[in-house]
Amino acid sequence: MEAAARADRQLAGRRFLVTGGTRGIGRGVVLAAARAGADVVTCHRQDGEAVDSLQRELAATPGKHRVLRADAADERDVERLLDECDAGLGGLDVVVNNAGAFRPVPYPELDPAEWAATVQGNLTAAHLVTRRALPLLGPGSSVVNLGSTVARIGMAGGAHYTAVKAGLVGLTRSLARELGPRGIRVNTVSPGRIATEALDELPPEAAEHQRRLFSSFTALGRLGTVEEIARLVLFLGSDRASYITGQDIHADGCV
């Protein structure tokens, strides 16, 4: 990934905000963008080794990069985060709404608090960040929302998560129409099952079971990689995707 990213100088000078960028897909996007020449701001909710190691990697990568503590689902934190982007970068060219999480819950046990937290953390967070970022985005800029293939195929124990990811697709399409006259593109990337560090943190037997199980669902017979999703996000944030907007692009190995 690093060699390919370094060769892609089309991102040189572009300014990225990636929410939830210290682990998983978000981390992959942050590092790929920085190595491709972009200046990158990212945020996290909790301190830890993932934050520290990302800061070390970014410090060794040319460019203006910042790792800030901020909750993308909290309006005051979002205000502070975007103020930092304005002051430190002078604006933004790409916003990647990656932050989000959920806890699997069988539907009969899905209480209002869990539903509300999932909506706030996944859908409302993308809305808050995008709305606040608008004054910093100019013609040719791009918003990329991280969705999920569950919005299309459903998920037992994840009705709340499926609902918010489907809502994110609707938000994307409406914003693409509303912001298109301003030259701002908006797209969704919907990954399938991706091999992240969360899988590696499982007990070995459980991790191998999940790899075999989810790989069997795909036409390619394997899980996707963080690097593959990051390359797609970077493409949508580049001028090469200048006529692509309002799309929900599935990267799932054909499930």
Distances (CA, A) of 38 to 29, 34, 95, 210, 224: 11, 5, 12, 35, 24
Our answer to whether residue 161 is catalytic in this structure is yes
Catalytic residue from among 93, 98, 128, 161 = 161
Structure tokens at 42: 């990212």
For 249, phi then psi, to 5°, come to: -95, 115
Q: Where are the alpha helices (DSSP H) in the chain?
A: 2-7, 24-35, 49-59, 75-89, 112-118, 125-133, 150-153, 159-179, 197-200, 204-215, 226-236
Of 28, 29, 66, 68, give the one whose Cα is nearest residue 46.
68
Residues acting as catalytic residues: 161
